[in-house]
Amino acid sequence: MATGFLTDTTVCIGCKACEVACKQWNQLPADGYELTGDSYDNTKQLSGTTWRHVAFIENPKKRRLTGDVDLVALAEGVTEPLPGGAELDALGRWAFMSDVCKHCVEAPCQQACPTGAIIRNEFDNVYIQPDVCNGCGYCVPACPYGVITQVPHDGRAFKCTLCYDRQKDGLEPACAKACPTDSIMFGEVEDLKVIAAERVQELHDKGYSRAYVYGTPEVGGTGGIGGNHSKFILMDEPETYNLPRHPFLPQEKVKGGTIASMVAGAVLGAVVALAFRDQGR
């Protein structure tokens, strides 16, 4: 049995309740008071102390609409053809997205971890054992989604545990519990897949043809990673949400690099041996 998240960004209202619930439940320290000026988002990104992060995506550049535009209709978010041939995708005007660890099927962080601190637990979630991690930090650049950081003052690396402790007690993760619009859904990965497909179909039927699921091996390509156990329904290019289009498994080439190094070792050894030529006499 594998559990995971499905984060439907189309119904996210940007309330950040998930961020707060996560911080509270997991007793994560504050990150300081910073006013970034990046929309209303002052927490910026995922880190060792921010395991859910809600992105506020707006575009500062304006598009000039021409024609006799019905401003009231615009404000109300109408998607029907607008007067004067103007186009506007109401949902796309301001997108929110609650980001989280993707709980990769072939997790790069787990493969990187030299201490074996990162494991798959009984819920098939990627879990860092805090009593094993020695803070080498190798998982940090290994993660293709920039999820993990090493926490200063503590020294160890942290990320979303998918509320391992709550799951053990039969509870859903704090973020999913707190989400008022059910943008964050928690459940078995297989069930969530079905829900995601249905929801995307529904969105397509309503005319939002750009909706898709991010985090399945087929869509949103996860080269070598084999998909994500926390998936997202997105309405725009992955990059808009700061997600890579085709994340890759960095360990894919360890074997190749090692073979190349062996060849190099042999060649350099031969060069040294040749340098000794005529020297023995």
Partner 1 sequence: MSERTRDQAQQSNGSVETSHHPATDPERKDKGYYGIPPIKHAHWTWQIPVYFWIGGIGAGVHLFSTIAQILGHKDEDLIRASRYTVLGTMILSPVLLIWDLGRPERFYNMLRVLKLRSPMSTQSWSVFAFGTLSGLISARQAADDGLLGDDNLLVRLVKLVPARFLSILSLPVGLNVGSNTGNLISATSVPLWARNWLFMGPTFLASGLSTALSWLSLVLHLTHSGEKKTMHTLHRAEKATILIEAGLIAASLIRMSKWSKPLFSREVAPLFVGGTLIGGILAPFALLFGKESRPKSILASVLALAGGLAFRFAIIKGGRISADDPEAYFTFASGDSAPQPEDKV
Q: Which of residues 233-252 bind partner 1 (CB under 8 A)?
A: 236-237, 239-252
Q: Could you say which of 13, 29, 44, 204 contacts partner 1 (CB under 8 A)?
A: 44
Per CB under 8 A, does 157 bind partner 1? Answer: yes
**CB 242 to ligand SF4: min, Å:** 13
Q: Based on the shown chain and the rule CB under 8 A, indicate whether residue 81 belongs to the binding site for partner 1.
A: no
Q: Which residues pair with 47 in a beta bridge?
A: 50
Decide which of ligand SF4, partner 1, none touches 27; Cβ closer than 5 to 8 Å per partner kind: none
CB 25 within 8 A of CB 177: no
- Residue 147 interacts with ligand SF4 (CB under 6 A): yes or no: yes
243 is a contact residue toward ligand SF4 (CB under 6 A): no
CA separation, residue 120 to residues 107, 123, 158, 167 (Å): 9, 8, 15, 14
> Cα-flanking dihedrals φ and ψ of residue 75, to 5°?
-65, -30
Q: Which part of the chain contacts partner 1 (CB under 8 A), choosing from 13-21, 85-93, 163-171, 190-198? A: 85-93
Give the residue, chosen from 4, 11, 145, 189, that forms a contact with partner 1 under the rule CB under 8 A. Answer: 145
Indicate which of partner 1, ligand SF4, none lies near residue 78 (CB less than 5 to 8 Å, by partner kind): none
Cβ contacts of 193 within 8 Å, gap of 6 or more: 216, 231
How far is 181 from 168, CA to CA, in rounded Å?
25
Contact between 28 and ligand SF4 by CB under 6 A: the answer reads no
Out of 22, 143, 163, 200, name the contact with ligand SF4 by CB under 6 A.
143
Considering only CA atoms, which of 236, 224, 177, 170 is closest in space to residue 52?
177
- Tell me which residues in 153-172 interact with ligand SF4 (CB under 6 A): 156-157, 159
- Considering only residues 24, 29, 58, 206, which one is a binding residue for partner 1 as defined by CB under 8 A? 58
Of residues 110, 111, 66, the one with CA closest to residue 88: 66
Phi, psi of 184 (to 5 degrees): -100, 115
Q: How far apart are the first and last CA of the chain?
A: 71
- Contacts of residue 6, defined as CB under 8 A and 6 or more positions apart, other chains included, come to 184, 185, 187, 192, 195, 196, 230, 231, 232, 233
- Say how far apart CA 161 and CA 129 lie, in whole Å: 9
Binding pattern for the stretch 107-136 against ligand SF4, x by CB under 6 A and - elsewhere: xxx--xx-x-xx-------x-x----xxxx
From residue 206 to residue 225, what is the string marking binding to partner 1 with x (rule CB under 8 A)? ----x------------xx-
Q: For ligand SF4, which stretch binds (CB under 6 A), given 50-58, 86-94, 105-113, 200-208?
A: 105-113
Question: Which residue number, 40 or 164, has a Cβ lying nearer to partner 1?
Answer: 40
Residue number, 24 or 115, with CB nearest to ligand SF4: 115
By C-beta, is 58 or 198 nearer to partner 1? 58
The rounded distance, in Å, linking the Cα atoms of 227 and 232 is 11
